[in-house]
Amino acid sequence: MDEREAGKKRSAERALRYVEDGSIVGVGTGSTVRYFIEGLADLRHRIEGAVSSSEQSTALLRQHGIPVLDLNATGPLPLYVDGADECDPHRRLIKGGGGALTREKIIAACSRRFVCVIDRSKQVDILGRFPLPVEVIPMARSHVARQLVALGGQPVWREGVVTDNGNWILDVHNLRILDPVALEASINQIAGVVTCGLFAARPADLVIVDGEVRD
Ligand code: 5RP
């Protein structure tokens, strides 16, 4: 296992400490979260179940014997654990490298505590080196792309990828995101955008980097 992978695993394992007995856990998507799910399997008799942010995580949770619950039935969650593609010093994130950004954003919005688990390579001073994913309704792809160019980005269609919601993704390159809250709002207002991968209006509450809680 290389250094980055070891950092992800340590962070995911550390996040297990925040799981409360008898609770329902919000679970993100990706390679870091995979380690979290493996650890959660050992605690499965102590929790009621999980709310999943993707079909991929749902399959993993079920493989590990963890009940997957419907967010409409659970109400607000005490804890959401997820990775990120980038994290700035204010705990604002770029997410969606795995294409699960919309369901991830919904669960983040419904959770009292969002614990973000990353390795140190994901830390940046200014968001935007990682192309910003934007989920779009298929018929709006070209329209949204033009609007994103007007905002200064270079959108690239993630061709062949269909999200769990049946939509498409544009990855927006060359953005230097100086005001993530404002850009998140602007992009989300474009007709045809489902949501963008900026988690700035609702940032993480706690960030664990290489297994250590960041100040
Ligand atoms: C998926 C995500 C992931 O959290 C993000 O892509 C990080 O993934 P990984 O843990 O594999 O590096 O937002 O939509």
Q: In this structure, what CATH number is given to the domain that contains residue 166?
A: 3.30.70.260
State if residue 83 touches ligand 1 by the CB under 6 angstroms criterion: yes
Same domain, 22 and 81: yes
State if residue 100 touches ligand 1 by the CB under 6 angstroms criterion: yes
Give pLDDT tens digits for 160-175.
999 999 999 999 999 9
pLDDT band at 105 (very low <50, low <70, confident <90, very high): very high
Give pLDDT tens digits for 67-84.
999 999 999 999 999 999
Q: How far is the CA of 147 from the centre of ligand 1 (A)?
A: 26
Which residue's CA is the closest to the ligand 1 atom numbered 6? 97
Q: How far is the CA of 88 from the centre of ligand 1 (A)?
A: 15
Same domain, 28 and 95: yes
103 has a pLDDT exceeding 90? yes
Q: What is the pTM of this model?
A: 0.97
Catalytic residue among 86, 104, 135, 184: 104
Q: Output the average pLDDT for the chain.
A: 98
State if residue 74 touches ligand 1 by the CB under 6 angstroms criterion: no
pLDDT at residue number 196: 98
Same domain, 139 and 45: no
Same domain, 139 and 107: no
User: What residues pair up with 81 in beta bridges, in sequence order?
Assistant: 27, 115
State if residue 30 touches ligand 1 by the CB under 6 angstroms criterion: yes
- % of residues, the chain, pLDDT over 90: 99
pLDDT at residue number 29: 98
97 has a pLDDT exceeding 90? yes
pLDDT at residue number 176: 84
**Residue 119 alpha carbon, nearest atom of ligand 1:** 12
User: How many structural domains comprise the chain?
Assistant: 2
Q: How far is the CA of 118 from the centre of ligand 1 (A)?
A: 9
State if residue 95 touches ligand 1 by the CB under 6 angstroms criterion: yes
Same domain, 19 and 91: yes
Same domain, 40 and 141: no
Give pLDDT tens digits for 131-149.
999 999 999 999 999 999 9
**Residue 96 alpha carbon, nearest atom of ligand 1:** 14
Same domain, 111 and 18: yes
Average pLDDT over residues 186-208: 98
Domain carrying residue 108: 3-124+202-214
Give pLDDT tens digits for 20-63.
999 999 999 999 999 999 999 999 999 999 999 999 999 999 99
Take residue 40 and report the two structure tokens written for it.
């959660």
Q: Quick check: is 86 catalytic?
A: no
pLDDT at residue number 22: 98
State if residue 133 touches ligand 1 by the CB under 6 angstroms criterion: no
